[in-house]
Amino acid sequence: MFKSIIVNFLGIFNSRILGFIRDLLSASIIGANIYSDIFFVAFKFPNLFRRIFAEGAFTQSFLPSFAKTKNKPKFAWNVFVLFLSLILIITLIVNFFSYEVTSLLAYGFSEEAKKTAAPLVAINFWYLDLIFIVTFLATLLQYKNHFATTAFSTSLLNISLIIALILSMQLPKEKIIFYLSIAVIVGGIAQVIVHIIAAKKYKILKLLYIGAKSKKKADLSTFKKHFLPSVFGNSTAHISAFLDTWLASFLSAGSISYLYYANRLFQLPFALFAIATSTVLFPKITKYLSNNQEKEAKEMMKKIFWLLFYALILATVIGIISSKEIVYILFQRGAFNEKDTLITSQVLVMYMLGLIPFGLNKLFSSYLYATHKHLKAAKFAMISLTVNIFLSVLFLFPMKVLGLALASSIGGIILFFLTLKEFGYKEFFSFFEKRYILGMILVIFGSIIIAIVFNKIAYLMKG
């Protein structure tokens, strides 16, 4: 299991490094202004669904039902056709009504900005169709205990966007964001291709072919029952970020970009640690619990919890203490100025307050899904999201972008404690043994020292 976690970690790390190179180029070439805001809005909607699908919702509803069904080929084929058809219909509607959709996504944009963004929204939305195919094949590859292809394939999107930025850097900004939108589709196609190659190797294409030819029926009722609750349960952090973008369109130009860059930094440790571990953990504990091995499942949970908790503490402490230095080193050059660095770093601090609760919730919610408590997870997510929306509106004008990020973190804290209550406080506190608590104290002190040293190095670089 730890080998799979390491593979996932390395794949995500590789992708995120390329993602930061992409963001570095984007910040330098485009900056934080109305043009960057337009592209981030256009890419935000399909990317929201990508994160919801790829980071748990589809897998957590599909895998348990797939494992139990007697006719796996037909079940897989029926789910694939059903979802791809629905997503294709939605994509066509978005393309036909791109201006109206853009007006909803960025209500606060000027009329001119909406007209510029509308065709880009239409182009970017096709990424959702491609990423569903990727997610579907990735889920079946997970069932085969193969994680590497999915972990490393997201790099292809970043490579595509980096090439687009380099090719278009001398062009007007409205042309640059058009190049980026085309690059999103090219990156999606590349991800589909590598997953098809892996699916052929692991005989998944053969399974789907058998399913397409089979005349037998497959029951999808359990999967359909659990899917929507899984979506709601997994989407809180991503809907929060999407909500932030929508509300930020009412603020000054550049606000959406500040949120984007800060959230990208937040997503690095979240993806590297929380997603990498929960992706591997979920199929394992699902199998334990289906075999009535609850003790083994919780023992595995305890080991993963401390591994994840230490990593999240390290990232949170460094992210808060060194926020300005991190943003300065990564982004402050070209069109991204000192003011942009200051605001982005402040937003980052607000987001980092929610890293530990969001990260640990990813772990404990996996247990809820493995025990078929999809509706409970959805209920908790809706409560958290409601609080987040209320606080976002409350904080919007007095705190501006800082208030949006803070509201998101508070929503994550509430979500974590609701999930933990369902898991059981008694079970949770049984994880806290003396050796682990001592380790936690050492990690905190070590993180502070690392942050101080990093700040000193950043100061010398400025000088």
- Per residue in 409-423, pLDDT (tens digit) is 999 999 999 999 999
Place of tokens 């897989």: 76
φ/ψ of 169, rounded to 5, equals -60, -25
Q: pLDDT exceeding 70 applies to what percent of the chain? A: 94
When comparing pLDDT for 198 and 226, which is higher? Answer: 198
CA dihedral (418, 421, 427, 429) positive or negative: positive
Whole-number Å distance between alpha carbons of 238 and 372: 22
Q: What is the average per-residue pLDDT within 347-372? A: 90
End-to-end CA separation in angstroms for the chain:
46
With H, G, I as helix, E, B as strand and everything else as coil, classify residue 291: coil
Whole-number Å distance between alpha carbons of 248 and 242: 10
CB 282 within 8 A of CB 8: no
Residues contacting 228, CB < 8 A, separation 6+: 378
Identify the DSSP state of 428. H
When comparing pLDDT for 115 and 109, which is higher? Answer: 115
Alpha helix segments (H runs only) across 249-399:
255-269, 276-290, 294-321, 323-331, 338-352, 355-370, 374-399
Q: What is the pLDDT of residues 74-95, one digit of tens each?
A: 989 998 998 899 889 989 998 9
Q: What is the pLDDT of residues 384-397, one digit of tens each?
A: 989 998 999 999 88
Nearest alpha carbon to residue 379 among 333, 334, 414, 407: 414
Nearest alpha carbon to residue 58 among 162, 128, 154, 148: 128
Alpha helix segments (H runs only) across 106-172:
111-143, 148-168
Q: What is the average per-residue pLDDT within 342-356? A: 95
Q: What is the average per-residue pLDDT within 306-316? A: 94
Query: For position 309, what pLDDT does the model report?
Result: 95
With H, G, I as helix, E, B as strand and everything else as coil, classify residue 227: helix
Q: What is the pLDDT of residues 159-197, one digit of tens each?
A: 999 999 999 988 888 888 899 999 999 999 999 999 999
Query: For position 234, what pLDDT does the model report?
Result: 66
Long-range contacts of range 428-432, CB-CB < 8 Å, 24 or more positions apart?
A: 428/364, 430/302, 431/301, 431/302, 431/305, 431/306
- Average per-residue pLDDT in the chain? 85
Residues contacting 433, CB < 8 A, separation 6+: none
CB atoms within 10 A of CB 397: 10
Side chain identity, residue 435: R
Q: What is the pLDDT of residues 122-167, one digit of tens each?
A: 998 999 899 889 989 988 998 887 888 888 888 999 999 999 999 9
Is the whole model's pTM more than 0.85, yes or no?
Answer: no
Nearest alpha carbon to residue 341 among 364, 320, 324, 318: 324
- Measured between alpha carbons, how far is residue 81 from residues 84, 129, 413 in Å? 5, 12, 38
CB 341 within 8 A of CB 301: no
- Angle at the Cα of 446 (from 3 to 416), degrees rounded to 5? 65
CA dihedral (311, 316, 317, 322) positive or negative: positive
